[in-house]
Amino acid sequence: MVRRLQAEIRQTKPFATLEAEAYLNLLRTADALFRGGEALLKPLQLSPPQYNVLRILRGAYPGGLACREVAERLLTKDPDITRLMDRLEHRGLITRARNQKDRRVITTRITPDGQQLLKQLDKPMLEMQEQQLGHLGQRKLRYLINLLETVRQKAG
């Protein structure tokens, strides 16, 4: 079985360009890393975008942020940030209130329950990231970070 799979892989046509191969490898790697985080969050009925919103709001505590500001800081753009926030508010993890000076602005803040949930996730998330990337060592991790930042500058 393994030999047959290896033979099939060797028969596969090479990528059209080195850039195409690198692009596909980045996507595969991002997906593998993402699935690890997803598995960690699933038992707590939290999606990665919801976790990201909570982390953003924890960083903005106690002042909070407008919905637009949260959307700008998200790792992945969610076209329906309002519904995402509705679910978090329904669970009591965030609150939203109209700004007294400008009624058009709704300020979102993390609640104590939201902070507690993040605190519960902090250590397992760090352990997962260490398990996924720690084998690279400090020097390779720095190099990887620099490469990825360089790629993002041109990617737009």
Give the model's pLDDT for residue 146: 96
C-alpha span between 51 and 121 (Å, rounded):
9
Q: How many domains does the chain have?
A: 1
- Domain-embedded: residue 120: yes
Instruction: Convert the pLDDT of each residue in 68-127 to its tens digit.
Output: 899 989 887 777 888 999 999 999 999 999 877 877 888 999 999 999 999 999 999 999
Residue 76 contacts residue 70 (beta carbons within 8 Å): no
Give the model's pLDDT for residue 51: 95
* DSSP class of 99: -
C-alpha span between 30 and 155 (Å, rounded):
15
- Domain-embedded: residue 140: yes
Q: What's the CATH code of the domain at 129?
A: 1.10.10.10
- Domain-embedded: residue 36: yes
Q: Classify 92 as helix, strand or coil.
A: coil
Check pLDDT > 70 for residue 2: no
Q: Classify 109 as helix, strand or coil.
A: strand
Instruction: Convert the pLDDT of each residue in 38-50 to its tens digit.
Output: 999 999 999 999 9
Instruction: Convert the pLDDT of each residue in 121-156 to its tens digit.
Output: 999 999 999 999 999 999 999 999 999 999 999 987
C-alpha span between 93 and 113 (Å, rounded):
5
In which domain, by residue range, is 75 found? Answer: 17-155
- Domain-embedded: residue 151: yes
67 band by pLDDT with thresholds 50, 70 and 90:
confident
Q: Which two tokens stand for residue 65?
A: 């942020």
